[in-house]
A = this chain, B = another copy of it.
Amino acid sequence: MNVALLGLGNVGRAVYDILEKKEADIFKNYEVNVKYVLVRNVKNKNINPNVLITDYNLILNDPTIDVVIEMMGASVSYDYMKKALLASKHVITANKEVIANHYVELQTIAMTNKVKLLFEASVGGGIPIVHTLLNSAPFNNIVKIEGILNGTTNFILTSMHKEKIDFLEALQLAQQKGFAEADPTADLEGLDMVRKIAILSMICYGSEIDLKDIYHYGIKNVDKEIIEVVDLLGYKLKFVASSSLNDNNISISVEPVALKNSDLLANVDYEYNLISYHGEGCATQMMYGKGAGPTTANSIVFDLGLVLSDYRQKFLPKLKLACTGNDKVISKYLIRFKNKIDDNIISKSLGNMAITKSLSGIELKNILPDIDFYARIID
């Protein structure tokens, strides 16, 4: 199977590396060959120079190219993807802007040409939420979606709460860590989440959605004073996308939200994302994972796996590794005595209960006859 990559930015390079290493199990049954990497300028790219090209027509006119992976996020992306589908090539993309705005048109072309249009990487970084909802939505009557869908802004707000730093300092930190774009406007205004929640809402409700119908209010005015008041009130400030379906009316907003500390969403920190959805059939379900950074490349590879094969069918354990229970686990334990046990293993006594010093699984088993309960302590 021949693949063409469009773009060699952070995501493009990470995907190239995964495909070139060929370490992953999915490449053991299939030959995946990166035949072209489309770039603006072939100089100083530090990859195999024979695959570097600047003319997209070479890809379009090459009948041996099966899959085009779009990772440019450029103004030409839409046009390139459309042309690839019209040329009966599968398209995998990370481009939420194009999918949010042109999904129906592009998917119609894909179906007409009997190829796949896959966009796992467009929402939730490395979390396979798109595939999950595409599979689940058709029989779950999903009526509500809520989530932290932007790693950059969640990183900023978490840093302001936890490290008590300024907005600008937190933004710079996010940029240093490679989460935030040089121009973070789309993230801070909520436009990035508008596109993502639109994509998830289309999947769940089966309705087209105009991005201009989605309300959004940004976080660029958040400062130390606001964070202090939010803390004082026992809340955490999060930037949240919410979508609901009621009587054929869709309501979608992207806005700052003050959440109780005990709310699961309030405890999703830094670059992590969480998507929660609720349906008649599935009740409330959630997916959690990194929403920014290198895991995005994994969503591209995930989609490539879907083009290649049906894993469920192919999966068969090939190894027989040693399995040693908890023998090597080292931990402290909360225990309750039945009989007297050696004082040397106790670090804190609590009446007829105690906290042990660090024990291995084997040491734990030695005292099992003398206790009637234990819990492993995770700090």
Chain A residues within CB distance 8 Å of chain B: 18, 24-26, 103-104, 107-108, 110-111, 116, 118, 126-128, 131-132, 134-140, 202-203, 205-210, 213-215, 217, 221-222, 225-226, 229-230, 233, 235, 237, 245-246, 248-253, 255-260, 262-264, 267, 272, 276, 281-290, 295, 298, 301-302, 305-306, 311-329, 334, 336, 350, 353, 355, 361, 368, 372-379
A305 close to B207 (CB less than 8 A): no
- A222, B373: Cβ atoms closer than 8 Å: yes
Q: A249-B328, A329-B251, A353-B229 given as contacts; is B285 within 8 A of A127 (CB)?
A: yes
The answer to whether A375 and B257 have CB atoms under 8 Å apart is yes
Provide the bound-state CA to CA distance between A303 and B298, in Å: 24
> Which residues of chain B are within 8 angstroms of A315 by Cβ–Cβ distance?
107, 134, 203
Please state if B326 and A226 are interface contacts (CB–CB under 8 Å): no
Known A126-B283, A128-B132, A214-B325; further 17 A-B contacts with Cβ < 8 A: A24-B138, A26-B139, A107-B315, A111-B314, A128-B135, A139-B305, A215-B327, A215-B361, A221-B336, A253-B326, A256-B373, A256-B374, A257-B377, A258-B377, A281-B301, A282-B295, A283-B295
Partner of A316, one of B104, B286, B298: B104
* Inter-chain contact B325/A252, CB cutoff 8 Å: yes
Contact of A139 among B131, B137, B298, B355 (CB under 8 A): B298
Contact of A209 among B107, B208, B306, B323 (CB under 8 A): B323
Between A and B, 19 residue pairs with Cβ closer than 8 Å are A18-B139, A24-B139, A25-B139, A104-B316, A111-B314, A128-B135, A131-B132, A205-B317, A206-B317, A209-B317, A226-B373, A235-B334, A235-B375, A252-B323, A257-B378, A260-B379, A267-B267, A282-B295, A283-B295
Interchain CB contact under 8 A, A118 and B312: yes
A120 to chain B, nearest CB (A): 9
A155–B254 Cα distance when bound, in Å, is 34
Least CB distance, A302 to chain B, in whole angstroms: 6
Q: How far is the CA of A245 from the CA of B322 in the complex (A)?
A: 10
Q: Determine how close the nearest CB of chain B comes to the CB of A336; give it in whole angstroms.
A: 6
Residue with the highest number of chain B CB atoms closer than 10 Å, among A205, A226, A246? A226
CB distance from A238 to the nearest CB of B (A): 9
Q: Which of B257, B306, B353 contacts A226 (CB 8 A)?
A: B353
Interfacial chain B residues near A226, Cβ < 8 Å:
336, 353, 373, 375
